[in-house]
């Protein structure tokens, strides 16, 4: 059973989707992975309370209590290490991680980002997509490296941009795609279908998910 630690900063909707999918897989077959801890940089994060209600270990480490990013990340890394994770998932964790933290979990640290990287790294991705006039938007799961929203892309989910879209309506549909994408990538990782080698190169089995399209397209 692979041990997964999830880092969040807010309500944790991707965390909830991941937990639901892992529970479904465990009921249908031998469990492949479990979320052993949820950690947040914000003690008020709603996702922490949800995790506790599910019987998942929930911890918080407030970044505002530390004098520097490095000091915070060193403390955070130790908390994460205590749970002996096979995989660390950044699911709406709104912190830019230091080189030391990234290197501590190299090859087992993934992030979900609300755009089709390398387009629109950073914040306000949906508004920027609309302003750019793109026809397709979406979400990306990638291995984390020292570059902001960088690292090898594992899989992406496509979402069409509608003429009637505003930032919120587009964000809502992208979030739905994230809820499909992240659990699938976690399962692929835990089955050994995707991996990062010591040189930072992605290795992907032909059976691994690369692209997800909207369900109405009939393509999975």
In angstroms, the CA 91 to CA 129 distance is 21
CA distances from 40 to 6, 10, 212 (A): 9, 8, 28
Query: Does residue 83 contact residue 57 with C-beta atoms inside 8 Å?
Result: yes
Across-strand partners of 184?
A: none
For the question of residue 137 being annotated catalytic, the response is no
If one counts every other C-beta atom within 10 angstroms of the C-beta of residue 153, the result is 17
Catalytic residue among 19, 49, 63, 113: 113
Of 148, 152, 41, 145, residue with least CA distance to 103: 145
Residues identified as active-site: 113
């Amino acid at each position: 059973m692979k041990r997964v630690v999830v880092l969040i900063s807010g309500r944790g909707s991707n965390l909830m989707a991941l937990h639901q999918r892992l529970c479904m897989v465990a009921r249908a077959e031998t469990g492949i992975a479990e979320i052993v801890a949820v950690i947040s940089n914000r003690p008020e994060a709603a996702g922490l309370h949800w995790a506790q209600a599910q019987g998942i270990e929930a911890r918080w480490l407030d970044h505002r209590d530390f004098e520097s990013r490095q000091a915070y990340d060193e403390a955070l890394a130790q908390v994460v290490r205590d749970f002996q994770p096979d995989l660390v998932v950044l699911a709406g964790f709104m912190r830019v991680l230091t080189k030391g933290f990234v290197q501590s979990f190299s090859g087992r640290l993934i992030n979900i980002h609300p755009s089709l990287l390398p387009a629109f790294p950073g914040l306000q991705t949906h508004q920027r997509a609309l302003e750019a006039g793109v026809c397709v938007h979406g979400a990306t799961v990638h291995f984390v490296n020292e570059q902001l929203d960088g690292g090898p892309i594992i899989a992406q989910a496509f979402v069409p941009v509608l003429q009637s879209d505003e930032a919120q309506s587009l964000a809502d549909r992208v979030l739905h795609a994230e809820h499909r994408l992240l659990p699938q990538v976690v399962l692929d990782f835990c089955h050994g279908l995707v991996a990062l080698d010591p040189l930072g190169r992605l290795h992907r089995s032909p059976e691994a998910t690369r692209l997800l399209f909207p369900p109405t397209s009939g393509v999975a």
